[in-house]
Structure 1
């Protein structure tokens, strides 16, 4: 079964479009203040947990 070059290029372009859609959604999330606050709180909690784990390892 032979595939035409047009079909193969259409498949490649579809993947590229999907990547740009994901990039646009990610950029929209980074502009969203509520998302950034939640992200900041989440990173802060994870860093506190990491510090507590390190303190527990070294002090006991």
Structure 2
């Protein structure tokens, strides 16, 4: 589990600016990064995209 700290918030702001993401999407990326995740399952970001070394996968796409 990752707790949002002031450092997480700052990291999210930096990620948002670097990757042209909303703050809230960047906060998910920041928390995932701090938690050591390599993949995020979401339908809200672009499938296959790599953001901050984290792969985005849409679990609802049919392969």
TM-score (norm 2): 0.28
Structure with greater proportional helix content: 1
TM-score (norm 1): 0.29
Name which one, 1 or 2, has greater alpha-carbon Rg: 1
Structure with greater proportional strand content: 2
Select the structure with the greater relative contact order (CA < 8 A; seq sep ≥ 6). 2
